[in-house]
Amino acid sequence: MRLILASASPRRRALLEAAGYEFEVIESGVDEAARPGEPAEALAARLAREKALRVAGLERLGTLVLGADTVVAVEGEILGKPADAQEARQMLRRLSGRTHQVFTGVCLARAPGRVVAEALEMTPVGFRELSDNDIENYIASDEPFDKAGGYGIQGLASSFVSRVEGSYSNVVGLPVERVVEMLRPFQESGHGAIG
């Protein structure tokens, strides 16, 4: 069974590879902007579905497409990918000393356009108090700029994290445990291995 990851995220790719799957990567090109008043969990679920269905619509019958989207929220406010250093600074100050939520929506679609499984994972993440020096050094590393919430837990920002409640891989960008559950029926159905 052919599997496609509908994401250009190097972190998602690495997590899926580490879980032992063989797959291709095709970026969906879906607009990731939130709709007015859209909650973080709804945004993550919607974008995962749109990404999976967009790519599945272009593929041959039966191909499996995995879409995912990660959204960071603190006190109900969505923190996207910072556009510049000032925005990264504001996000990191907002996260400092607080617990925020990381939502990842995952959608598995079968070409040409049928959703076969969906999941939403939420992981609370606590940050210690960050000093101005912590924030400025982190921004200087260029690490914040392609990541929801302006940080990557697997990189230099690991030292900011005081606790993670639940799936660590979800915070990186893909709840591997959920994805394995979603793909297992296709591995066991005799339609050919995908991992």
Give catalytic residues, as residue numbers.
69
Compute the residue count for the chain.
195
Strands 77-79 and 99-110: unpaired
HSE toward the beta carbon, residue 160, CA cutoff 13 A: 30
Give bridge partners of residue 192 from the DSSP assignment: none
Angle between helices 10-18 and 176-188 (to 10 degrees): 50
Backbone angles phi, psi at 97, to 5 degrees: 70, 10
Contact between 182 and 108 (Cβ < 8 Å):
yes
Q: Which two tokens stand for residue 102?
A: 């990381």
Cite the DSSP H helix spans in 122-175.
132-140, 168-172
